[in-house]
Chain A
Amino acid sequence: MRVTCTVNGVDRTADDVWEGESLLYVLRERLGLPGSKNACEQGECGSCTVYLDGTAVCACLVAAGQAAGRDVRTVEGLAPEGGLDPVQRAFLQAGAVQCGFCTPGLIVSVHDLLAHNPQPTDPEIREALAGNLCRCTGYEKIMDAVRLAAADGAGAA
């Protein structure tokens, strides 16, 4: 089937989509947007987190057809081409990226957290990121990055 949706502000169309396919597969394999990562395909790791109509969801658990006509925003669309969102900058500054596989999903989750709660407490950060797994960093640098982004007013942006 054909699926058309808005991705990062642009109307995109994917053809020959299998009806049982996930939005994540469409983004990565059909629309050339490999930012969202595929690690578990079962909602456990959060590395595929994207905005669907402004709500943070696991793209691996959205059926392609459910995204038709909707607004999708991926990690690639958080900042203008060539630029970085304050959350992305904070991750780099804090050294919160090691292998980087979890990073795109975490960036979207943190972006979402700060949009709703610009000055989160540590327990609030941990709660908000409970669905994003990182096997490398031990999370401390990620906590640093979120605190840094919040201090820089990322949520207000």
Chain B
Amino acid sequence: MDNSTLAVKHLTKFFGKKQALSNITFECQKGHIVGLIGANGAGKTTIMKSILSMIKSDGDISINGQTSTFDNHKILSEVGSLIEYPGIYPYMSGRDHLKIFTDDTKDKAQRIQDIITELNLKDYIDKRAKGYSLGMKQKLGIAMALVNDPSLVILDEPMNGLDPKATKDLRELILKKKAAGTTFLISSHILGELQKLAEDLIVIDHGKVIKKTTMASLLENNNHYLTLSTNNDPQTFDILKQANYTICSTDPLKIILPSEKSVENIMELLASNNITVRDLRHIDDDLEDSVLKIIAK
């Protein structure tokens, strides 16, 4: 058996006649954080629901080497999840929720206490969930997904409704669990956030996997830009054009940097033409730009 915590093969799903997923195949390696990206309606939630046997679909799903199906999914005891929005009983307190969803082990109370501390829930954990705000419910849902220390965690838009502090707490918690060997499959529209977390990426469009890559190699292929402001922009434009630089815009003057070394070359070139550089900025494409490019193809 290979080292994958989750292996999805040929996953296909129809809602009536409408095909939501077609032949989705991917793997999540143990201890990796895998980002699932795609436009609204691309099929991210549907993939996650299929893995969690919430919906019936065709294809093979195996978790820690064990097959899981809609009718037989014992292995899901090793999976924690939060799909779309959290399911919460309004008449119970947050602590009651954690109590009923935490496996009955010796350190049950300790694990509940730990997750309360880690996600900073203590102020309201003993109040009835009826009065919780969106973000409070979201944090409780995440706590329920993580409290059993599952080997695989599936989170659908986990940052939904979280404030910056809570987002940071969650990011740190995810990274901590990852370091301890937990595997994550996370979908998010907040690509900046995913960029800080995920190392592997799966891009979905119209129910198909259109790219499987790592964060590093995706960002590596990104363009780097330089914006310039000088005492004579039109003349700079001509000089750079003659030197065969690709110019993206003229106001402000923006060019593509072919390599890191070229900043030096440009400075020398401009100095020799008696042009004074007033401002100089280095800009990188981020994950968002890369993803938009992939989807636009």
* Bound pair (A, B): no
List chain A positions with a Cβ less than 8 A from chain B. none
List chain B positions with a Cβ less than 8 A from chain A. none
